[in-house]
Structure 1
Amino acid sequence: MNFIKKYWSYILGAILLLYLVIRYYKIVSGKNFEDLPQSDKLSQTGSTLTDEQSKVIADNLYKAMVSYLWGTDEKIIFNEFAKLKSGADFNKVYNAFGLRQYSTTWGNVGDPFTSEKHNLITILTNELTSKEQNKLRASNPYLSIF
């Protein structure tokens, strides 16, 4: 505790610097996740998933993507997408996902200052690399989200 009291200004400065570096990287790299659609409902006509199945998949995807300590669990994401057989199935999961708390700055649930509610596509785009997005698209040809 004495360490924090003694060096609080350095700790705060380091956190602020990290935040600014991340924001700068996102601006330079052209990743502007806030511009993606946020709350449109997609047609789920023809889905083979029940409401409960789509909710479980949505919850599993969210848990795989937002972690304070371990980062994204890509294996779970790919396993959950393997359960989807069509675009209608994806749409049903997307609708069940809704808008969930997420920080595009820190890549996790975030805090009241840097996080907002985002949809599944926004969070997936932020969490997966281009290579992982291509792999997901290749194994799910009905996807047109990236």
Structure 2
Amino acid sequence: MRISIYRKAKSVMALSGTAARVNGTAAGTTVDRYQAGAAEYRSVMFVVTTATITDGSHAVSVQDSDDGSTWGTPAAGEVQGTAPTIAATDSNKVFDVGYSGAKRYCRIQAVTTGATTGGIFTAAAVLYGTRRDR
């Protein structure tokens, strides 16, 4: 059997169709790196996809947690790439940001400011490389 990303990765919802019309914080879905039937996944890539964005600033960030309820900011070396700040010029785009820290849980959050009509964006988390694949 060929080795492929399909066999080594799993995608889960990270932020469902957020209509960023209201200023404030939208916490994404908790991503558990210990998925049923698998060992811990070593890394996660968040794929943020935008639809039409009309105004506002939508700052996306990565958070991690030991217990899935107390959230913090990962160390700089645990985040790959730059989490996007989505603006009106970012309609119909895709952004990637990765997490490879040691904590079991991670998620993204989006903080929206200056929005009147805002826009819509969503995110998926792609989990990759279980520890038993070494």
TM-score normalized by structure 1? 0.28
Larger radius of gyration: 1
TM-score by length of 2: 0.29
- Report which of the two has the higher share of strand: 2
Which structure's residues are more often helix, by fraction?
Answer: 1
**Greater length-normalized contact order (CA 8 Å, ≥ 6 residues apart):** 2
